[in-house]
Amino acid sequence: MTLILTVLDLFYIYFILPESLNHSKRNEFESTVAASASSEMGDISTTAIADNSSSSNVAFQGGVGVSRRASSSWWNPFESIRYLTTDPLLSSIGRITILYYTALHAVVSTLILYAARQFHLGPHRLGELMAALGLSTMLSEAVLVRIAIPALGEPRSMRLGLMSFTLQCMLLAVAGSPWQLFFCAILAIPGNLVYPSISSLVSTSVKPEDVGRALGSINGVKSLTEGLGPLIFGTLLTISETHSLPGWPYFIAAIMSALAWHATKALPGESTKRAEYYMRREKVDYEEMEPFNERNNA
């Protein structure tokens, strides 16, 4: 069944998505969409809107959009880091993402090896551990996210998730029995609140035309941590095998998670505060550009 769904997904991507079409069919698709958008929006030029937008897809009323060719810099992960530094809010979210996901990928990539070497868990027990962690992720994303984020807000939910992940890393560092590894699956339930909180915060805080690029930049940073975390912590875990406390590298992951928790203090809390923040931001940008506009008008 999985194979069938994968094949259908590939067919959909290759034959239907506008980004996969050749230039003639893509232009035909864009012309059709632009004509439909023009009929809904009156005399507003969709081409002008698309040219002036910084996003890869310009949203119109009724869900219609105009697809643009992306610049090669948009999928460069280092360009993602540079883009996140252009705004104080995105800069804070970028720091949280780097710290948290480096630690997370370090744990995910080394946990099975750690459990097998230090606690001599067999294939069945390792399968049970992975199933427990998968169940915790399912419960978090299907149930807890729907309750915690509306009730607590994104920053508080993020702090709850980071606090839980910090405790999880500390428990792994001092674990002396296999049951403690399974208890980490319980701590992973609130720990999975972090990324949904980040996505929701960006979606409600960033200007609509910048949401796609902001989320894409965050995912670009995540892709860097997927290689950085396992590379560093895999080496540290190998070094720590003969140590009296073989799980000490997880203390480093706990420190990184705690630093990410501290970085959340720079995030604006309520949506009204975020709105006021961006109103002030736009006012500053306008005041900075006013002398330049005056020279041009002169």
pLDDT, one tens digit per residue, over 228-259 is 888 888 888 888 888 888 889 999 999 999 99
- In sequence order, what are the beta bridge partners of 58? 66
Provide the 3-class DSSP secondary structure of residue 250.
Answer: helix
pLDDT 10s digits, 150-195: 999 999 999 999 999 999 999 999 988 889 899 998 999 999 999 9
Query: What pLDDT shows up at residue 131?
Result: 93
**Residue 52, token pair as written in the block:** 């002036």
H or E stretch including 65?
strand 65-67
- Candidates 266, 285, 224, 267; CA nearest to 79 is 224
Three-state DSSP state, 192:
coil
Contacts of residues 234-240 at CB distance under 8 Å and 24 or more positions apart, as own/partner, are: 234/109, 234/110, 237/110, 237/113, 237/114
- What pLDDT was estimated at residue 73? 53
Question: pLDDT per residue over 73-85, tens digit each?
Answer: 555 556 767 788 8
CA distances from 73 to 23, 93, 94, 157 (A): 21, 20, 18, 32
Quick one: tokens of 66? Answer: 């105009």
In this structure, which amino acid lies at residue 72? S
Quick one: which of 226, 220, 215 has its CA closest to 79? 220
Contact (CB, 8 A) for 70 and 56? yes
Report the SS3 class of residue 100. Answer: helix
Q: Which residues pair with 66 in a beta bridge?
A: 58
Take residue 273 and report the two structure tokens written for it: 């505060």
pLDDT at 41 > cutoff 70: no
Q: Of 59, 144, 114, 129, which is closest to residue 230 (Cα–Cα)?
A: 114
Whole-number Cα distances in Å, 192 to 48, 55, 79, 160, 227: 41, 28, 27, 10, 20
On the question of pLDDT at 283 being above 60, the answer is no
Higher pLDDT, 139 or 224: 139
Q: Is the pLDDT assigned to residue 61 strictly greater than 60?
A: no
Surface-to-core class of residue 129, CB atoms within 10 Å of its CB (0-12 exposed, 13-18 middle, 19+ buried): buried
Burial (CB < 10 A; 0-12, 13-18, 19+), residue 169, is buried
Average pLDDT over residues 194-204: 89
Instruction: Yes or no: say if 16 and 24 are a contact pair by the CB < 8 Å rule.
Output: no
Q: For 276, how many CA atoms within 13 A lie in the half-sphere containing its CB?
A: 7
Closest CA to 214 of 11, 6, 74, 111: 74
Beta carbons within 8 Å of 142's beta carbon, 6+ residues apart: none
135 pLDDT tier (thresholds 50, 70, 90): very high
What phi-psi label fits residue 270: left (phi over 0), alpha (psi between -120 and 50 degrees) or beta? beta
